[in-house]
Chain A
Amino acid sequence: MKLEAPSSPSAVAVPNRIEGWAKVTGQALYADDVAWPNMAYGYLVRSPHAHARIVSVDLEAARSMPGVLAVLAGPGSTAPYGIMPSNQDEHALATGKVTYFGEPLLAIAAETLRTARAAARAVRVAYEPLAPVLKTGSQQKAAPQVREDAGDGNLHKAVDLEFGDVAAGLREAQFTRTDEFFFQGNNHLALEPHAVTAFWQPDGQLVLESSTQVPHYVQRSLARALGLPEHQIRVMVPTLGGGFGGKSELFPHEVAAALLSRSCGRPVRITLSREDVFYTHRGRHPVEMKVATGFDRQHRLQAMSFESRLDGGAYSSYGIASTYYTGALQPTTYQIGAYRFHGERWFTTKPPCGPKRGHGTTQPRALLEVHMDRVARDLGLDPIELRREILQPPFSVTVNQLDITTSGLAECLDAVERMSGWKERRGRLGKGRGLGFACSSYLSGAGLPIYWNPLPHSGARIAIGRDGGVQVACGITDIGQGANTVLAILAARSLGVALGRVRVTSADTGTTPVDLGSYSSRVTLMAGNALLTAAERMLDLLRQAAARHWQVPAQEIARDGEDFAVLGRDERAAWTEVARWAEADFGPLVTAGGYTPAPPRGRHKGSGVGPSPAYSFSACIAEVEVDELDGRLQVQRLYVAHDPGTPLNPQSVEGQIRGGVVMGLGEVLMEAQAFNPDGRHRGPHLLGYRIPTMLDVPEIEIAVVGQPDPNGPLGAKEVGQGPLNPVIPAVLNAVQDAVGIELHETPVTPDRILRALDAKRRRGNAR
């Protein structure tokens, strides 16, 4: 048989990714790959203390080294900046004091990276160490102030929400239960470390090529940090090597590269090391949580009180949003009579936490699902049955004023129950083995932008060239999730052309309409809708041109493949020909569309966090085996169901589900952004911070369920974040099912299992 080896790129027939060929041949250029002429290398000097006053800085020795082009001390930025408008508390470089181990305070540019590093060793900084602040809440007794610009004490923000009378609901309940949990923080660990090249051009324009998920926000924040008009800054994103939320705001290295470039008049590249990435962080917040629920006689959920306390690290970052998110999405899965939420975020002397896949909803979902499982156990009910009776129905409003459209949650429950053989196998797997269930929900894009404005959340522009090619321009960033491909698919489908005609330009504030960025699972829905509007407008022009050419009413114009034709007549013309008629009639063919979500229903303080045009739903059943002798936990199989609305690119949908599920598996089994008592990261490298390898991943059985959503482009909802959330509590519940232990924190390491088994034995002996 003849070898089916491809001889040309067109042999890649299935366009899973339009850029796939470039990534498998090494041709795709990432931020650290783009070599600019005359480029210099930047390096950041970082704090060797978690908390210290900067007493003196001596840069002379470094400045006089051959090959050193610039050495800058803080603050660098002319105004403080921050992603949330109400929390502008960051500077490029620390001055006065440092508030986490690894905080940048000096920036150096040199001819080579090796020279820049040598210069970093030559600077002299004297510190006066201060006590590190590592705990939150009342455990912070007499702790020194972390942010001296942020009021008294280290409480960053406290928020309260109440819908209905929770106290009465709990008081009058037939059954109540309270559970507490600590969810450990963890890092995104995108394989690509952050990198930027900045060039402050002689004409005053500042150009950056940066590995960011949010070029628009980087442009905005940089304008503030540097006192420049926004239009003088252009932010471009080359191929991005993963984000997961870790590249979602302006970072010190981006500001520093710009400043170094201004100082030395050359483009400056700064690439973070893996260790730097653990200090840059903005990862999952460690959260201490408490939930209390009350159920009535029919096992309806009468009332829920949820408290969370977030360990925010040294800066605000997305913290206010993260805090609200720990209370926002509990009601999207369950009907709750009355709901109360109290959230707090505390400053500590650790790398700042921020958004990671599932932003703020992952931690409370873990506790909520573990809690529901224990309620079912207490009531002697099947945990899936308990939930089935109280699911938030499709096309309904939650207790906290969120509008739910389609929901495949019930189908998710059915699917994992069926795939796992739950009914037949549960309780019959043998010693040390168990099954655990959990479900969850996530946003398809935040209903409100991060800074208030009435403008579209996403804009897309379509141009048709004289060559018949379709040029799509949109500010989205393809962070590896396949966003560019989804836009190409939507453009091809909506215009009725071959995918090969479509070229997508994205992630460039200088040439593409604003899209707010690749966060909150918003891109497919929002940019997709914007693009569909632009496509409708474009088709309208083409139809008009064809109608005029053939002297028929526009409604008689039909499509046959790419061609245009007249209904009932033997007239037809190719796509490119009709495009040329239209260009002759209307001038160069360009249309645009924008998308703004409907305003949220809630009017209360905090109502901006939680609303979304559509929610995805997920469920997971974990099958585990626990070795009671050595505490080892083996996840043998995962069954996952997800409702993404219409799956626009089924292979990418599968990839997002698998990737999210495995990331959740890492969080529950092994990952911990943990610190020593002196505030140092316990292992800022891939041996100290373990993530799942190919050998750690069990078989994962997947069901994609659900209906097209009226608010999604061709019915699509999100898939990038939701499937992570149920995995963690499903594993915890499976461990309880297997060996009868209640776990109260992540990750579930063998030592914690052994301790819980010991405690269980002692309780057993005492009886």
Chain B
Amino acid sequence: MAESVMRLRVNGREHHLVVSDEATLLEVLREQLHLHGTKDGCAVGSCGTCTVWLDGVPRLSCVTLAKTVEGRDVVTIEGLAGWWGRERPGEGAAAFHPLQTAAVEAGAVQCGFCTPGMLMAGAALLRDTPAPGREEIREALSGHLCRCTGYEQIIHAVELAAGRMGEATPDEA
């Protein structure tokens, strides 16, 4: 089985990895880098639990061949708070992205298996659309299955986080 050496930037850190040609990005993250926060719910790109950011764009890591993302930048759920901290210089290190806090507070987390993927998609939405409407949220997260919550509390978490991040904007400007 063919293998190759590749570079990958994950959560701000540069890695040199020996990767099988068949390996998915999800496998590399979970099995080689031990970043188990990214989940495998279906392995064929239908459930959204494996979502990570690839150069800032939410992507399904279970259907992304690792060798096709040579040299690119990946953010996983473990790196979301760190990314948020880097986004706001001077604010200090953050333990949570506001959406992570809001998810806990809004009751958006039950079993938690969909949560990492859901939050990566939600955080990307909040980055690109500071005050998303309810329909925008539903559209943006509709590729993420959740079997526990019935979704409402997840939508509410995004709204809650958007509200708080919005309040912060004048201060930063």
Contact = CB atoms under 8 A, between A and B. Distances in A.
B138 to A, nearest CB: 5
B152 A697 contact: yes
Given A6-B94, A655-B148, A241 B81 contact: no
Interface stretch (A30-38, A154-162, A435-443, A567-575): A30-38
A189 interface: yes
A114 B115 contact: no
B109 A24 contact: yes
Contacts of B38: 26
B95 interface: yes
B11 to A, nearest CB: 10
Contact of A3 (B22, B36, B141, B167): B167
Nearest to A693: B142
Contacts of B119: 24
Contact of A694 (B37, B43, B151, B168): B151
B171 A3 contact: yes
Interface string A1-45: 111111111011110110111111111111011010000000000
A612 interface: no
A459 B154 CA distance: 34
B61 interface: no
Contact of A12 (B1, B81, B105): B105
Contact of B171 (A2, A21, A30, A686): A2
B89 interface: no
Interface in B121-173: 138-139, 141-155, 164-165, 167-168, 170-172
A26 B37 contact: yes
A3 B147 contact: no
A165 B116 CA distance: 57
Interface centre among B104, B113, B138, B155 (most CB of A within 10 A): B104
Contacts of B116: 24, 26
B95 A7 contact: yes
B151 A697 contact: yes
A718 to B, nearest CB: 16
B109 A663 contact: no
Given A4-B167, A12-B101, A190-B147, A24 B141 contact: no
B150 A16 contact: no
A480 B148 contact: yes
Nearest to A657: B150
Contacts of A1: 167-168, 170-171
A11 B100 CA distance: 11
A694 B110 contact: no
Contacts of B146: 191
A192 B46 CA distance: 13
Given A9-B95, A480-B148, A663-B147, A23 B115 contact: yes
Please classify the interface of chain A as helix (H, G, I), strand (E, B), loop, or mixed, using the class held by over half of its residues.
loop
A499 interface: no
B44 to A, nearest CB: 6
A190 B111 contact: yes
Interface string B70-107: 00000011101100100010011111101011011111
A597 to B, nearest CB: 27
A650 B100 CA distance: 20
B127 to A, nearest CB: 14
Contacts of A660: 150
A136 to B, nearest CB: 28
A651 B115 contact: no
A481 B139 CA distance: 26
B170 to A, nearest CB: 7
A633 interface: no
A214 interface: no
Contacts of A205: none
Interface string A442-484: 0000000000000000000000000000000000000111100
A659 interface: yes
B12 interface: no
A691 B153 contact: no
Nearest to B96: A6
Contacts of A659: 110, 147-150
Interface centre among A20, A30, A35, A273 (most CB of B within 10 A): A20
Contacts of A693: 142-145
A5 B150 contact: no
Given A192-B113, A658-B152, A6 B76 contact: no
A725 to B, nearest CB: 15
Contact of B148 (A7, A24, A242, A271): A242
Given A25-B37, A191-B113, A661-B150, A695 B95 contact: no
B95 to A, nearest CB: 6
B18 interface: no
A613 B155 CA distance: 36
Contact of A8 (B37, B91, B95, B171): B95
A155 to B, nearest CB: 34
A687 interface: yes
Interface centre among B46, B101, B144, B147 (most CB of A within 10 A): B147
A24 to B, nearest CB: 4
A655 B107 contact: yes
A21 B95 CA distance: 10
Interface residues of B, number: 72
B85 to A, nearest CB: 9
Contacts of A700: 150, 152
A654 interface: yes
Given A11-B101, A24-B103, A242 B42 contact: no
Interface centre among B43, B107, B111, B116 (most CB of A within 10 A): B111
A28 B39 CA distance: 11
A700 B156 CA distance: 13
Contacts of A32: 36, 40
A135 interface: no
Contact of A21 (B37, B41, B104, B165): B104
Contacts of B111: 190-192, 239-242, 479-480
B12 to A, nearest CB: 15
A719 B146 CA distance: 19
B152 A480 contact: no
A318 interface: no
A685 interface: yes
A193 interface: yes
A595 interface: no
Contacts of B41: 191-193, 274
Nearest to A195: B40
B25 interface: no
A461 B26 CA distance: 40
A3 B152 contact: no
Contacts of B66: none
A684 to B, nearest CB: 11
A697 to B, nearest CB: 5
Given A242-B111, A274-B44, A694 B155 contact: yes
Given A26-B37, A663-B147, A700-B150, 20 more contacts: A2-B171, A3-B88, A14-B105, A17-B107, A20-B104, A24-B77, A25-B80, A35-B34, A191-B49, A192-B111, A241-B39, A242-B147, A273-B43, A274-B41, A274-B43, A479-B111, A481-B148, A685-B42, A694-B141, A697-B150
23 contacts: A1-B170, A2-B171, A3-B172, A5-B101, A6-B96, A12-B104, A12-B105, A16-B109, A17-B104, A24-B115, A24-B119, A25-B37, A190-B147, A191-B113, A273-B43, A274-B44, A482-B110, A658-B151, A686-B47, A691-B145, A693-B145, A697-B151, A697-B152
Interface of B: 1, 20, 22, 30, 34-44, 46-47, 49, 76-78, 80-81, 84, 88, 91-96, 98, 100-101, 103-107, 109-116, 119, 138-139, 141-155, 164-165, 167-168, 170-172
- List the 10 shortest-distance A-B pairs measured between CB atoms, nearest first: A26-B37, A480-B111, A23-B112, A658-B150, A241-B113, A3-B168, A686-B46, A662-B150, A33-B36, A20-B104
